[in-house]
A and B are shown apart, each in its own frame.
Chain A
Amino acid sequence: MPAVEVTELSKQFVRRQGRRRMRVTALEGVSFEVARGECVAVLGQNGSGKSTLVRVLSTLLLHDGGRARVFGHDVASDPRAVRRVVNRVSVEASFFKRMSATENLSYAARFYGLAPAHTRRRIPEILGSVGFPPARAKAPMEDLSRGMQQKVALARALLTSPTLLLLDEPTTGLDPRSKREVQDFVRTVRATHDTTTLLCTHDMAEAEALADRVGILDRGRLLALDSAAAVRRRYDAPTLEDAFLAATGRPLGEDEEQEAA
């Protein structure tokens, strides 16, 4: 059974422009599978549909057509079963800012049914493993750097031992050192846990370094999904960036119209 099975997935949003209502396509006929334990990176500009895809798989968004399953569970009809096995790290760390890292992790773990006896021991361990300084564990999140907040976000996701980890631009906006630390940790998780990873990014180097396969998502359509080398070969391009340009007609840095959700 694949970890992720997406078939002809489509999603449109209604956007208002003055009195007019127009439909904006976020995903159009997207189909792919991710095998258990695999890491797949999806490359795309802002507004290409990456976040919509992640939010459908996180059960936060209902799709219009097609089907999405996580370990055999349909995201629309059996969301609770999906939620038990999925966690996510997004571009924004997203915490209660006055609460400490320990407090944020503690209540979040309860939402996944983890008992206090387990988390009291596990939270310091997992914070240590992401390189978070123990002395800052009780400081309010608003007093922590962006890099440190993102480490806590990784810890939050891994605390629940997800078998599917959704990474939505987890290193965007981080300084080079924090970025490398986060990427190293993702590698470690893959090596030590039974975790399947779907990484959405617009960082070519990150995609090539972390993923087994790389997909190109453009205007809601998945144009390619293969190993980085195969994608380069397909577009007869020396680099992944050139392959992206050849596939979409635009460089990765150029934003599409902002995603509706």
Chain B
Amino acid sequence: MRAIGGGELRAQGIALMGVLERNSYLVKRYGWWELAFFVWTVANTLTIVFIAKGVEATGGTLDVERQTASLLIGAVIWSYLGIVFEVLTETVAWERWEGTIEYTFMAPLARSVHLGGMGAFGVLYGLLRTSALFGVVALFFGLRFPDADFGAALVVLAVASVSFIGVGIVTAILPLVSPEKGAQLGFIAQGMLLVVSGVYYPVEVMPGWMQAIATISPATYALHGIRATVLDGASLGAVWGDLWPLLLMGAIAIPAGLAVFRVGEAYAKRHGKLSRSG
């Protein structure tokens, strides 16, 4: 492994800030798009969260408030994961579309810094967007969370985010290897991750083989841990059973994601795919 001097470390720190700076410019410049997507996400979340009231109205028996809150948490995590994955997939897809990909990939910023910066932006931006989404929809339904430990929920989300970034880094390589379909494959990966993780239903209702996959999905533990902290006020100690798998997956996911990305980048450089035209 190459030793990193103070100057190089400082340069990479500045480069990391550059990734965050660029993405904040893009959010600012596409402000109306951001607003439109937010309104769409609120509408989409409402259609899901209304299901609890719909079940009651059609004769079903359930704790409507708890089920509404549970669905809201699922929808918010879906939205959060969507933002993190989208930002990371855009590492390649958007840059190819704008034509800047060659300039970014020939700059001396380390790929780990580049992708780490995109992931960090995705997490920060995702937190802002989904906090607003949670607030708006909770207000709409008049939901109250008297027992919630939001601090613990944030810790669970933060730990889960490390794994999400690792998986997102793997999906980021897809548009590089397959310029035509790569971005869509990223959305498929996001959907697959959530469908096996009990996003709107308990994991136990799925077939056995899906439950087996759920055990290796970080979203399973994130959803379970966040629901426990927000709905039941569980402390960090009480959700340790969700935290340790997330810590373990996070420790594996980022190095594994970077390794996969490096292999994909080398493939793209060998086959001339690291270009604006693909």
Residue positions of A touching B, CB distance < 8 A: 13-14, 52, 55, 58-62, 80, 83-84, 86, 88, 90, 92, 94-99, 103, 106-116, 140, 156, 260-261
Contacts and interface: CB of A to CB of B under 8 A. Distances in A.
Given A55-B275, A80-B108, A108-B18, 16 more contacts: A61-B274, A62-B266, A92-B99, A98-B29, A103-B22, A103-B25, A108-B103, A110-B21, A111-B104, A111-B108, A111-B109, A113-B12, A113-B14, A113-B108, A116-B17, A156-B103
B205 interface: no
B209 interface: no
A113 to B, nearest CB: 3
Nearest to B15: A111
A88 to B, nearest CB: 7
Interface in B82-134: 98-100, 102-110
A83 B107 contact: yes
Contacts of B62: none
B26 A94 contact: no
Contacts of A88: 102-103, 106
Contacts of A61: 269, 272, 274
A181 B100 CA distance: 24
A106 B23 CA distance: 12
A206 B108 CA distance: 30
A118 B269 CA distance: 33
Point out which of A90, A99, A110 has the most chain B C-beta atoms below 10 A from its C-beta. A110
Contact of A14 (B266, B271, B276): B271
Nearest to B2: A80
B140 interface: no
A86 B106 contact: yes
A34 B27 CA distance: 43
Contact of A112 (B108, B269, B276): B108
A242 to B, nearest CB: 33
A112 B11 CA distance: 7
B8 to A, nearest CB: 8
A80 B2 CA distance: 12
Contacts of A111: 15, 18, 104, 107-109
Nearest to B30: A98
A94 B274 contact: no
B102 A90 contact: yes
B20 to A, nearest CB: 9
